[in-house]
């Protein structure tokens, strides 16, 4: 019995999800290696790896039926909560407020 079109799409989606999970883990491993090595001039490499992790996370969410907008909204809610609850990184550095301002500027 030949697989139907729907089964092929499901199989393809599962394979893509597994590949994205591997890419995410690979990105996290690369991030840790870069930090461990601590080489000078790794700013560009760190930026590249962080961007890849974020990109893969968005694509993985989409393959799992979560919209990009839902991810953005969840991030914004977590930022607000961190500011409200005075998360340690907010208290010490104001990073969450800065990220919130950045995201608000870029939404316009």
pLDDT digits (tens, 9 = 90+) for 81-91: 999 999 999 99
Handedness of CA 9, 15, 17, 19 (dihedral sign): negative
Q: Give yes or no: residues 17 and 62 share one domain.
A: yes
For residue 40, pLDDT over 80 is answered with no
* Structure-token match 């090595």, residue found: 37
Q: Give yes or no: residues 83 and 61 share one domain.
A: no
Write out 43-79 in H/E/C secondary structure.
HHHHHHHHHHHHHHHHHHHHHCCCCHHHHHHHHHHHH
For residue 97, pLDDT over 70 is answered with yes
Q: Can you give the pLDDT at residue 2?
A: 53
Q: Give yes or no: residues 57 and 7 share one domain.
A: yes
Q: Can you give the pLDDT at residue 103?
A: 93
Q: How many domains does the chain have?
A: 2
Q: Can you give the pLDDT at residue 37?
A: 87
Domain, as residue range, for 41: 1-66
Distance of CA 61 to the CA centre of its chain: 9
Q: Give yes or no: residues 61 and 27 share one domain.
A: yes
When pLDDT is averaged across residues 2-23 and rounded to a whole number, the result is: 86
């Amino acid at each position: 019995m030949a697989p139907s079109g729907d089964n092929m799409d499901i199989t393809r989606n599962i394979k893509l999800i597994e590949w994205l999970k591997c890419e995410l883990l690979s990105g996290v491993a690369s991030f840790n290696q870069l930090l461990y090595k601590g080489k000078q001039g790794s700013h560009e490499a760190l930026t590249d790896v962080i961007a890849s992790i974020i990109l893969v996370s968005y694509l993985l969410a989409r393959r799992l039926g979560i919209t990009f907008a839902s991810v953005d909204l969840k991030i914004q809610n977590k930022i607000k909560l961190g500011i409200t609850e005075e998360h340690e990184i907010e208290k010490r550095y104001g990073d969450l407020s800065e990220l919130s301002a950045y995201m608000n500027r870029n939404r316009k």
